[in-house]
């Protein structure tokens, strides 16, 4: 019997303009990616993109996100994959991981909230076809349970239990005590807290969050609700919103309001609130030249990817006295967790066992990474994001991972 596979097409030659295609065309978001693929199966409404930006430091690792609210027949999901995969290269490099950057986007049908079993199978086969160039993990609207199903069809999956990863890669099963959590959300939240504290030290000369007002967009999400709790525990005053009008998300907002004495506002109004810190934890792109004009917060620091609509917006923010903490540094906690677990599970001879305290210690270093970047750039008034990108480029050009 013929093994199932969706239709898979390599498309980077069309995105670079080297070849022509009836649908795909050159895109600004394409930045010398090593490879970009598109897969589809009309029978099960499956469409997905995988962008491999770099494998110089190791296999390209990045989460798979599932979204159904893209414009129909647009390049939005492809552009998401392209931008996010490039950010993953920078994120993994600055985090010290022997991994490159990649990203996957699964496109749902209108109103679809989660992928079907058939779509997860198709995605697993799609990932496996790349023979390890891309390692998938959890991202928006994907769960650990989804990844376990994907792992039935490919071994190139991070963010599931160490035992499952070791077995899939033919390694001897070894216990790690205390074991790390497969779910990256708690680690992403911890890293985001570290980044917010670093930002407070930069702007307010004190890392304390006591009585600081934080406006959180995406508070009802898996990471957002954890950040809400951490900020409350640090003494912050909270304003919360969520882009999703689904009843379950709205109930979560109400629960957060009651637990943490938070004030709920609409997602359209969250940016305009009188807050010290704006923490975007949903989809990116909402920091624009226009939104900066109405923003009262002096800090932009959250778990969302691609927060800035354009890179140039960071310079505008700096000119307005607003400090932006690069998303590819502040939200690296999740990939630090799943990345170290995957590397150890697949190459146990090359890495120390990733215990939970060890991973948390690495994530707490996010604060010092940000403060060191600020110390290097404040005299020249260079945006942190630009400085971080240049640092990552230097590392990629000069350093070879020890495990290679």
Q: Which residues are catalytic?
A: 103
State yes or no: cis peptide before 178, omega within 30 of 0.
yes
Give dist(CA 338, CA 159) in Å, integer.
5
Assess contact for 120 and 45: CB atoms under 8 A.
Answer: no
Helical pair 356-377 and 185-204, crossing angle rounded to 10 deg: 30
C-alpha distances out from residue 391 to 192, 195, 332, 368, 397, Å:
20, 18, 16, 15, 10
Assess contact for 192 and 327: CB atoms under 8 A.
Answer: no
CA neighbor of 228 nearest in space, from 279, 299, 273: 279
Q: Which residues pair with 1 in a beta bridge?
A: none
Give dist(CA 302, CA 191) in Å, integer.
10
Query: Could you give the dihedral angle defined by the CA atoms of residues 293, 294, 298 and 299, in that order, rounded to the nearest 10 degrees?
Result: -90
Which secondary-structure segment (H or E) carries 319?
helix 313-319
Helices (H), 180-275: 185-204, 222-233, 247-260
CA angle 276, 279, 284 (to 5 degrees): 140
3-state secondary structure of 242: coil
CA neighbor of 185 nearest in space, from 229, 226, 148: 226
Helices (H), 98-137: 117-128
């Amino acid at each position: 019997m013929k093994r199932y596979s969706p239709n898979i097409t390599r498309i980077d030659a069309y995105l670079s303009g080297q070849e022509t295609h009836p649908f795909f065309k050159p895109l600004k978001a394409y930045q010398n990616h090593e490879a970009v693929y598109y897969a589809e199966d009309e029978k099960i409404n499956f469409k997905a993109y995988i962008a491999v930006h770099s494998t110089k430091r190791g296999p390209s690792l990045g989460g798979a996100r599932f979204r159904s609210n893209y414009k129909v027949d647009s390049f939005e999901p492809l552009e998401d994959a392209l931008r996010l995969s490039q950010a993953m290269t920078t994120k993994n490099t600055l985090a010290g991981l022997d991994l490159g950057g990649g990203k996957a986007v699964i496109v749902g049908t209108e109103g679809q909230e989660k992928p079907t079993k058939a779509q997860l199978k198709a995605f697993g086969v799609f990932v496996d076809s790349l023979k390890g160039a891309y390692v998938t993990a959890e991202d928006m609207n994907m769960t650990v349970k989804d990844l376990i199903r994907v792992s039935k069809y490919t071994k190139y999956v991070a963010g599931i239990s160490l035992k499952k990863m070791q077995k899939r890669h033919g390694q001897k099963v070894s216990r790690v005590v205390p074991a790390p959590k497969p779910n990256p959300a708690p680690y992403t939240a911890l890293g985001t807290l570290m980044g917010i504290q670093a930002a407070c030290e930069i702007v307010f000369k004190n890392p304390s969050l006591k009585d600081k007002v934080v406006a959180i967009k995406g508070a009802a999400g898996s990471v957002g609700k954890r950040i809400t709790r951490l900020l409350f525990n640090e003494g912050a005053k909270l304003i919360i919103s969520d882009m999703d009008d689904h009843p379950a998300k709205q109930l979560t907002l109400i629960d957060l309001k009651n637990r943490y004495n938070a004030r709920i506002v609409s997602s359209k109004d969250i940016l305009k609130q009188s807050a010290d810190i704006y923490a975007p934890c949903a989809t990116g792109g909402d920091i624009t030249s226009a939104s900066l004009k109405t923003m009262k917060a002096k800090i932009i620091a959250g778990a969302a990817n691609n927060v800035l609509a354009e890179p140039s917006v960071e310079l505008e923010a700096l000119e307005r006295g607003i400090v932006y903490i690069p998303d590819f540094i502040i939200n690296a906690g999740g990939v630090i967790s799943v990345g170290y677990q995957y590397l150890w599970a697949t190459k146990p001879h090359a890495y120390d066992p990733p215990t939970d305290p060890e991973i948390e210690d690495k994530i707490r270093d996010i604060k010092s990474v940000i403060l060191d970047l600020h110390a290097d750039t404040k005299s020249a008034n260079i945006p942190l994001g630009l400085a971080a990108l240049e640092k990552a480029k230097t590392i990629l050009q000069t350093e070879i991972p020890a495990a290679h």
